[in-house]
Amino acid sequence: MSNLADSSRPARPAIAWIGLGIMGSPMSENLLKAGYDVTGFTLERDKLDRLTAAGGTAASSIAEAVRDADVIITMVPASPQVEAVAYGPDGILDNARSGALLIDMSSITPQTSVDLAKAAAARGIRVLDAPVSGGEAGAVEAVLSIMVGGGKADFDAAKPVFEALGRTIVLCGPHGSGQTVKAANQLIVAVNIQACAEAVVFLEKSGVDLTAALDVLGGGLAGSTVLARKKDNFLSRDFKPGFRIDLHHKDMGIVTDAARNVGAALPVGAVVAQLVASLRAQGDGGLDHSALLRAVERLSGARV
């Protein structure tokens, strides 16, 4: 990481973290545990209090957070929020020092990442798009999968930071490539959750012991990280958000639009995108994406 800081700076780069939500808070805390100095900014006061309680520093603005940072990490919901924190007189690009590395770990459109990298380069700021997969549990446990787009030298420099946050860390290609891979990830996850939800309803209506069934399915070819992570949600009907339907709805829009642009057919993905959208329209957008089970139950005649 030595090329991120000059000789007058600490061996570990100073980090600014923008966005302390369900994912951002535990991720920033893992950097603190790894020995990094983290200055954070978010709109919720309680999230800033949580950061300071963990040993971080709360900033009163984006400008204050990024001014002396070597590495700036953003983790916000979607493209509009990335643009809001990056651009303008109070944003990252106008206040970060030349030579800083901006790592956007949000899930946004690939084109937004490409545009951000271009705008940042004009100000001497390097950019990586580095969305993650693994949900809240993966963030807490620092076992996220991190898919990165950008330059090889910047990726190599950022690797120690990524290693404090995740386990599978891959440079996928130039700017926007990380977001493209994340879109594919969200497609696979949504289809997998939908298949699991349909299997749960089928099993229960057939009178099978659901716990036993999911245990044995998890040990065979039908097993998946999705089934392992969401099994308890299905069994308990606990849909406390680890990754909200609202956000998966946004991601399904990204992947269906991107697929259309490159001429890739997504027949199953398109159906699941509509099922996610319908669940959101029924008022369940704030629930975990495992709540797709509720939609299948409704279609099957249950009152939920």
Catalytic residues: 182
Burial bucket for residue 74 (CB in 10 Å: 0-12, 13-18, 19+)? buried
Whole-number Å distance between alpha carbons of 250 and 108: 9
Whole-number Å distance between alpha carbons of 173 and 149: 5
> Going by DSSP bridges, is the β-strand pair 132-133/144-149 parallel, antiparallel, or unpaired?
antiparallel
Whole-number Å distance between alpha carbons of 17 and 66: 8
Whole-number Å distance between alpha carbons of 185 and 10: 36
* Six-digit token string for 29: 């805390």
Q: Helix-strand-coil percent breakdown of the chain, rounded to 5?
A: 55, 15, 30
* Six-digit token string for 282: 């029924």
